[in-house]
Amino acid sequence: MYLVFDIGGTNTRVAISEEGKSLKSIKKIFTPEDFDQGMKGLKQVADQLSGGEEIKGVVVGVAGPLDKEKTTLIASPHIPGWVNKPIKPSLEKIFNQPVYLEHEADLEGLGEVAFGAGQGYKIVANLVIGTGVATTRIIDGKIDQNALGFEAGHQIIVMNGHPCDCGGFGHLEAYVSGSGLMKTYGKKGEEIKDPKIWEEVAKYLAIGLNNVVVFWSPEVIVLGGAVMQSIPIDAVKSYLRKVLTIFPTPPKVVLGKLGDDSALFGGLQLLME
Ligand SMILES: [Zn+2]
């Protein structure tokens, strides 16, 4: 039996896979702010799901860029209590198995390419707009090589603009993510009903996508995450056509298909590899 964890900024999802080919028993818990609490919570839910069966492998996605050795987070706007904590060694001790740690954003992209909306494309940009904005670039079905990680959510779209949870200003995440909307409008994304606000958010997202296109040259942009259920995708596409003047035809922009489970599917893909 294999375990796949997706430790997000707000929620943690856990699934088991019997043979490393499909997922079952997906469970959701709140991600504790405290690292030690988090480790206890993961062990508890894993014990429940596995029912004492032998664990053969563990894949973990965690929300934020990792150190070079992929053992811990080097930054994380939404779970700062986990930064620089021994995530991989602690989990290896708990499960007595090698643990593969990846950036949650990379697993989300991998999941959409292997099982979802990115299937059949060679160059995919995946953006997940939830608590934050998680991004990655997948080439030929693999997480593209990178020196520091893919953090297009922290591109500056407005000089001296709104504060971002990472400490910067004017970042895409501050204008389109759940945490950004909460700061600007004092409401959760799903509570915002004014179409004018969503039109505005669509414009900011289109500017971000323009930059993704000119730097990453994707065949397709896959947009997932809870906030994408409210951002009008047709408006995003229409603004993107207006601002992206260097290419006559923008790449395809499509909605993700796997919802909040995309990182779990990415973890499954890693197990299969
Ligand atoms: Zn930022």
Amino acid (1-letter code) at residue 110: L
Q: To 10 degrees, what angle do helices 87-95 and 35-50 make?
A: 30
Please compute Rg for the chain using Cα positions. 18
Domains 2-106+261-272 and 119-256 belong to one CATH topology:
yes
- Indicate the helix (H) or strand (E) that contains 27: strand 24-30
Separation of 152 CA from ligand 1 center, angstroms? 9
Separation of 77 CA from ligand 1 center, angstroms? 8
Separation of 111 CA from ligand 1 center, angstroms? 24
Separation of 151 CA from ligand 1 center, angstroms? 9
Distances (CA, A) of 65 to 87, 135, 154: 13, 11, 12
Q: Which residues contact 163 (CB under 8 A, 6 or more apart)?
A: 169, 174, 183
Q: What CATH architecture does domain 119-256 belong to?
A: 2-Layer Sandwich (3.30)
Separation of 172 CA from ligand 1 center, angstroms? 7
Q: What CATH architecture does domain 2-106+261-272 belong to?
A: 2-Layer Sandwich (3.30)
Separation of 160 CA from ligand 1 center, angstroms? 12
Separation of 153 CA from ligand 1 center, angstroms? 7
8 Å CB contact between 26 and 13: yes
Q: To 10 degrees, what angle do helices 262-272 and 104-115 make?
A: 80
What is the rounded end-to-end Cα distance, in angstroms, of the chain? 16
Angle CA(90)–CA(91)–CA(95) in degrees, nearest 5? 125
For the chain, domain boundaries = 2-106+261-272, 119-256
CA distance 98 to 118: 29
Separation of 94 CA from ligand 1 center, angstroms? 33
> What backbone phi and psi angles, to 5 degrees, belong to 11?
-120, 155
Strand partners, 29: 12
Separation of 165 CA from ligand 1 center, angstroms? 6
The 10 Å Cβ neighbour count of residue 242 is 12
CA distance 127 to 147: 19
Separation of 120 CA from ligand 1 center, angstroms? 31
Separation of 85 CA from ligand 1 center, angstroms? 21
Distances (CA, A) of 216 to 123, 142, 167, 209: 9, 15, 25, 10
Q: Nearest Cα to 7, choosing from 51, 67, 52, 72?
A: 72
Separation of 109 CA from ligand 1 center, angstroms? 20
The reported pLDDT for the residue numbered 102 is 96
CA distance 129 to 145: 22
Separation of 246 CA from ligand 1 center, angstroms? 26
Q: What is the mean pLDDT of each run of 10 residues along the chain (273 residues)?
A: 93 92 91 96 92 91 94 94 97 94 96 97 97 96 94 98 97 98 96 97 98 98 97 98 96 96 96 87
Distances (CA, A) of 38 to 5, 87, 96, 147: 12, 10, 17, 28
CA distance 43 to 14: 11
8 Å CB contact between 174 and 156: no
pTM beyond 0.95: no
Question: How many residues in the chain?
Answer: 273
Angle CA(246)–CA(248)–CA(253) in degrees, nearest 5? 95
Strand partners, 163: 169
